[in-house]
Structure 1
Amino acid sequence: MLASVGALTLTGLLRPVPATAASAAVGTVRLDNMPVALRAGTTQVVTCNRTSGYKARVAFWRLVDGRWRSEFSTTDGRIGYGGLVSPGSRRQGSGTTPMGTYGIPFTFGRWNRSTAWRMPYLTMVTGDYWVLDNDSRFYNRFRKRSSGGFTTAGSEHLVDYGDQYEMSAVLDFNYASPVRHRGGAIFLHVNGRGATAGCVSVPRVMMGAVMRELQPAAVPVVTIGAG
């Protein structure tokens, strides 16, 4: 029997997938009928599979004894109100969620770091922003207002979204070499009242489980699509 807590299924909702030689290192594996571009050493994956409208099935996978196993999942995942878009076509302010596979550079939230969380973590406070000023050299980066170098208009004051960003993981969309006007601030975070503005969101209980499970040594990635 599958054990559930709210909208979170805690064991094996999705059938385990045998790992190929490539899927244990760099390569591609199909999880929930979507191609996942693995990085060297990846043994943890979050898949976000759009089902209808802004709803999505989101699952947490782990490579165990050569097989990819879904450890917990939800059918109450959310994407942007603008739907899915190819990453190169995305425009800032469109409410679209970029398809593809993304790493997690760090996590953040409104609480002090839990001893159960192993990923790099920042506690957000008043004055912490995600820069979306297209003229700033800090575009698509976390930055404190006191540090300067950007305008707050159009940037996200993170504590204004305290419920959604209570626990959050940053996705490295448009991150390494940011393209202006393509947008940023794409996170995995807690559900709000409806669609997101481009992020992926899940019920609070699942986001808590994700935060506890993620670990840097597993080189976790998040794949977004419609399988």
Structure 2
Amino acid sequence: MRENEIRVIIKSNNVILEFPKCEILTSAFIGKNGYTKNKEEGDGCTPIGKFSLGLMLGTHSNILNEKYNYIKINNNMYWIDDSNSKYYNRLVDVTKVKRDWNSAEHLADYPVQYEYLIEIKINELNNPNKGSAIFLHCSNGESTQGCIAINNKVMKKIVENINENTKINIILQNK
């Protein structure tokens, strides 16, 4: 259902995010190196395509959404971006797994951007070097490493209104 689809429209001079379900139309930031149809780890590009949403996390104790599971970020949480790790492109709690990675994103280090965060499942099979830690998250006013970033008040509204059927469609519009 299109009303329950988050659309990110990349135009030549700007990026727009719309979510008709809750009447959202806002500007957005994408990867510092633009966009790609062939995502590679560390390329700084936002992937083009239609994707499912995954985990939802944030810095708040709870949120107003009973239809989607929410996890509060703690100091033990890392998202693994080392392609050689068996945990590649996964959230781990370092107190519960044996470390086998050389590179990971410590989620607690980004309290502004990750006030609210939703995983975009661009690499559902966790294939090595095909992209990790791609999220829809709050903006710090700058381009991203491949994520999509928007104003935190708008992000809060999205977090409160998504469900397990919500998809994100990142499209290039050449007009």
- One fold, TM greater than 0.5? yes
Identity, in percent, stands at 24
List gaps (5 residues or longer) in structure 1: 1-23, 30-42, 63-69
* Deviations 1:124-148, CA, capped at 9 Å, x for gaps: 1102000112122111011011123
**Letter paired with 2:171:** G
Pair 1:73-2:17 in alignment: no
Structure 1 counterpart of 2:90, which letter? Answer: R
Letter in 2 for 1:45: E
The one of 89, 93, 97 aligned to 2:46: 97
The Cα RMSD (Å) is 1.8
Matched letter for residue 23 of structure 2:
E
Indicate conservation of the 8 Å contact 1:125/1:159, yes or no: yes
TM-score computed with the length of structure 2 as normaliser: 0.91
For structure 2, list consecutive stretches of 5 or more residues without a partner in the other structure. none
Larger radius of gyration: 1
TM-score in terms of structure 1 length: 0.71
Taking the TM superposition and a 5 Å limit, the aligned residue runs for 1:140-219 are 140-151=89-100, 153-175=102-124, 177-216=125-164, 219=165
> Which amino acid in 1 is paired with 2:168?
V
Cα separation, 2, equivalents of 1:150 and 1:92: 20
8 A Cα contact 1:138 1:149, kept in partner: no
After superposition, where does 1:122-141 map in structure 2 within 5 Å? 122-141=71-90
Q: Is 2:166 aligned against 1:220?
A: yes
Answer yes or no: is the 8 Å Cα contact 2:137–2:147 preserved in 1: yes
> Are the counterparts in 1 of residues 33 and 45 from structure 2 also a CA contact under 8 Å?
yes
Tell me, in whole angstroms, the C-alpha distance in 2 between the residues paired with 1:117 and 1:211.
11
Distance 2:7 2:158 in 1: 12
Spell out, residue by residue over 1:170-219, the C-alpha distance to the aligned partner (whole angstroms, 9 max, x if none): 111102x1110112111100011310100011111110110111122xx0
Retained in 1: the 8 A contact 2:59–2:111?
A: yes
Looking at structure 2, the residues matched to 106 and 92 of structure 1 have their Cα atoms a distance apart, in angstroms, of 20
